[in-house]
Every structure is written in C-alpha cells, then in structure tokens.
Chains A and B, each alone.
Chain A
Amino acid sequence: MTMNMPELVPTVDVADELTLEEQRSTRRKRLTRRQLYVRRFMRNRGAVVGLVVLGVLVLFCLFGSLLTSYTYSDVDFTSLTLAPSSDHYFGTNGAGNDTFAQSVHGLQRSLTIALIVSLLTTFIAAFVGCAAAYFRGNAEKIILGIVHFLLVVPSFLILALVSKKAGGDWRVLIIGLTVLGWMYNARVVWALATSLREREYVQAARFMGVGSVRIVMRHLIPNIGSLLIVTFTLGVVATVLGETALSFIGFGVQIPDVSLGTMLADGASTMSSAPWLFYFPAGLLTLLTVSMALIGDGLRDALDPTSRSGGRA
C-alpha cells in the first residue's frame, strides 16, 4: 500500500514549501481536506469494495420490492418450500412466503435498526463522554460511575426480557439496543476528551463566556469527529450482529415482521431440505457486516493523520 504519489501535497504543508514545489511541477495542486480523505480512502482497495457492496445492498433494499410482485407477508399456498425459480427468485419458505420479498424487507429492517441505533449510540457516547470530561469533578465521577455500572449489567439478558415483553416490536428493539449500547464508546470518548479539555481553544471559549453545552457541542465533539465516524460504522456492524442474534433465538423482531435474523432461524430448521432459505439471508448478512467493517477500516486509515497504511498524503 506504500504507493508513492509525489504530485500530491497535503494542505497541512506550509505555504512556502508549496510554492517551491509548485515551481518545480505545474501539475501539483492543493487538496482540500475532503479531497484528501476521499483520495486516501479510495486508495484502500478493500474499503472501496466494501463501499460498492454496501451501495448495492442499499439499492437492493430500497428498490428490490419493485422487482417482484409479491410482498414479504403474502402467502402463496400453491407454492410451499419451492426452490428458486423465475417466479420466486429466492424460492419460498414452508408457509409460502416469497423469500426474495422477505430478504428485501428483512435487509431493510436490519439496516434501519442498525443505522438508527448506531447513530444514536454514537451521539450519546460523544455527548456523555465529552460532558464528563468537560465538567470534571463530581459530575465526571458520577457519569463514569453510571457508565461502569451499565457495563457490568447483563445487557443481553435485559434486552431479551424487554424485547420479548414488547412482542418483538422493532422500535422497542431500537430503544433497547441504544440504551444498552452506548457505554463502552462513551468511555473511549471520555479518555480522548480528557486531553482535549486542556486545549487553548476550549479555555478561550470558556473565558469568552460560551455556555458549557455549547462548548461541548461546538468545540469538543467536532474534534473527535474522525473517531466518531469510525465508531459509527463499527457500531452498525455490532448492532447488526446483536439484532441478528436476538432475532435468531426468538427474542428480537418477531412474526409477522421479518428481519434477516428471523429468516436465518427459519432456514436453520430446514437446512438439508431447503438450503436456499439459509443461503440468501446468510449471504446478505455476511455481505452487510463485512462491507461495513471494510469501510470502517478504510475510514480509520483515511482519517488518521499518523496512519501510514494509506500511503503518502
């Protein structure tokens, strides 16, 4: 990955060095920070593959329902447990549901849950972590105490309890996964923010009379933005895995709603007689998690100024 790209000069370089080099080569141009990140990201082949796969998956779950005349809850009594055909692209399950329509809906469901939960947990973690670091003293001790306590609490069990009681409503699942999912990241953010709070611009803002919430939102959180972006992508992976696990053992999304986890559980019982019920949800899930992980890896390398894995610039 150590490709040399001598015509690129990052914006962080001082101006006079740039003019010197500009004299040497007319092809050199300054890059904005965004261009720089995009270029570094694009250089990571795995990350680009991940992005393409994710794009295809998103298109699939947005427009996949247009490709078939069935909906995920339609029951076709004339075709039970049929292998994939031109009518039912992914076959049908034992109840006569079209697996293609179910996959589209399940992927939609899994992706929606994962994106919302990851967005919320990332934001809560950022805010709580930064606030704990900024306020110091007793407030910091109390917040960290709560975080540590929530880390010890058997979250998977509580999640299963709540979700089962709610009858597998996916909105309850989102709330549960969010409430029990932000603590670890908050701890990481806090550790970073303890060094940020000593910076001059934070001091300056405070002496100018800027409110504390505003300082946290405008001065602390944006400065850990790169960490938060990576946290977000990896949070999506973690949430997909968690939701799948819950749905698989029957405590997550429940019939008549469909997620990839429930489809897997469905396929598990007919592994040898109807393997296509397993192949499609399993394939989609693996593509989803692996592509997100690849993107997260690529982003981490692209956003980290000290990383060498993206090559120069």
Chain B
Amino acid sequence: MIVVATNLTYFLSTAFLDPRANYLQLRPPRTPEQIAISLQRYNLDPGTPLLGRWWTWITGIVTRWDWGASPIGEPVNSEIAFRIGVSAQLVFFSVVLSTVIGIALGVYTASRQYKFADRFSQGLSLVTLNIPPAVAGLAVVLVAIAINQSVGTTLFFVAGAQSPTVSGFWPTVLDRIQHLVLPTISLTIISYATYHLLQRSLLLDNINSDYVRTARAKGLTRAEAIRRHGLRTSLIPVATSIAFAIPALFTGAVITETIFAWQGMGQYFIQTINKNDVHGAVAVAAFGALMTAVGAMLADIAVVALDPRVRVAA
C-alpha cells in the first residue's frame, strides 16, 4: 500500500508541478535548452519520457536510498533528516501533554458526571476541538505578545526553533524551551479534547460495571477502584487513537509550523509544492504513509501492553 500510494503521488506530482518554472525567473534568462540540461542533472527534465524518469527515481531509492533532489539541486534526504528532528521535538511534547491532560480530564469529569466541572470542561473541549488550528495558533501568538509586552522582555519567541546567537549548554536549553512553549501549547489546545471526550465516555461505560462494583465491595476506595479497574479497560481505545494520532501530527502540524516558522515536515510540505519540488513532495507523501503504518503498529503494541486478555508468546 505504501509503495503504491508513493508511486501514485510521484505520477500525480509530476503531472501537476512544473520544475521549469523555477528557472524562468532567473536573470539572465535561460533558454529552454539550458533549463532542460540543468533539470536533467536532477532527473526532472520533462523532455525525458515519464517512465524513464520514474525508473531512474525508483532505482535510486531501492539501490541507494536516494530520494532525489529538488529542482535547484538540494538533496531530499538531508532536508528530511533535518526536518524530522525539528518536527519530532514539537510532536513529542504536545503528544505527551495532550495525552496527560486529556486522560486526566476524562477521568476527573467521568467521576463527576453532570456536575459543574464536568459540564464546564466538556463545553470547553467541544469548543477547542472545533477551533481551526490556524485560529488557535494565532490566538496563542496574540496572548504571548501581550505577555511579552507586559513583562517587558521577550519571554516567549513567536518564531523559529532556536536563536542563532545563543551558545553554551544551559542557555541553549533555555532558548529552545522559550521557542518550544508556544507551538506546543497551540498543538495541545487542538488535540487534547479528542482524548478527553473519548476517555470520559469510555470510562462512564465502565464505571458502573460489575467488576468496578466488586472492587468497591472488596474494600477499595472509589478512586482506587476507578483507577485500577475502570481506567485500565477504558484506556485501551484511547491509547489506540493516540497511537494513530502521533504520525498524523508529523505532517498534520502544517499550520502550526507555518505560524511559528518552524522548519519541520509540515513546512517542508508547503515549500516543496511552492517550489515545484517533485521529489520532495513525493518524499513527504511517502513519509506520511510510513507514519500511518507506524501508527497502526504502535496501536497494536499499545493494545498488547494494556489489555491483559491479549498475551503474546514471549
């Protein structure tokens, strides 16, 4: 499936992206022949038959793990390698935060069903779940600018992953954190609500079940019974959905990365399309498909780890 989807993307993006456009604005102007020669070096010349180009491209990947180069010669491999790291920072913290917040809120509200705290946070989650990512990101920026102005110094940076001038270990860590806080918050805002609502409804299904009542009858406190017996079973579907969400975030953080000017995968995706970078766009698609497969695997692992009924032979 991944292979088929990737190849399909290759043909689609060659059909829709014209790398020659990148050379048309150059001064002095190039003749079509010159452009063709330049593009030929990167296996992008529309003069060569499509199947020929495809064959060169696919053998490059299979034999040398070389995903090709952009129309101006930047290798896709190194771009992606750099950007995965950037995206990973962003995704890691926001996934951890939204998981913890989502599940904690879900458990808290499920054990106080229909009380004020439950209704309030449910309403809030409904709103944040449906806020467009762009609105959430920009709202965070507005708040951060207001805080920066009231404090008087730049407490949070609204653009980039790091400052170029900072050196030394601790200053670098501090600088990274200052850059990381805002995008992480805005990603968390739009993703925690899914887990909250899911966890709440699942736990509500379990909280009145026989085995939780039995646990209470054995003398466990209500909190302990919910945590040890109710939560364990209801965590499984939540874990599955989180596992599937992680890979989607890698490419799905397009908007957040654009707003905060992070050079991650999402931003690379926009860049490849804007610069007619066929190979780059296909690599992004392949990465996305691979991440979906990884997500499916993570989900299986989560089920095995959490569900006592599933036993894998050691």
Contacts and interface: CB of A to CB of B under 8 A. Distances in A.
Place the interface of chain A in its size category. Answer: 35 or more
A245 B131 contact: no
Contacts of A186: none
Interface in A119-152: 148-149, 152
Given A164-B273, A282-B135, A285-B135, A290 B130 contact: yes
Interface string A273-311: 001001000100110011011100100000000000000
A161 interface: yes
Interface string B219-263: 000000000000000000000000000000001001100110000
Interface stretch (A69-77, A211-219, A260-268): A260-268
A294 B127 CA distance: 9
Interface in A149-175: 149, 152-154, 156-158, 160-162, 164-165
Nearest to A284: B135
Nearest to B2: A152
Contacts, number: 112
B24 to A, nearest CB: 16
B269 A157 contact: yes
B53 to A, nearest CB: 17
B138 A268 contact: yes
Nearest to B122: A46
A299 B139 CA distance: 30
Nearest to B127: A290
Given A237-B130, A282-B139, A161 B12 contact: yes
Place the interface of chain B in its size category. Answer: 35 or more
B138 A278 contact: yes
Nearest to B190: A241
B129 interface: yes
A159 B304 CA distance: 36
B123 A164 contact: no
A248 B258 contact: yes
B138 A249 contact: no
B16 interface: yes
Interface of A: 1, 46, 148-149, 152-154, 156-158, 160-162, 164-165, 237, 240-241, 244-245, 248-251, 261, 264-265, 267-268, 271-272, 275, 278, 282, 285-286, 289-290, 292-294, 297
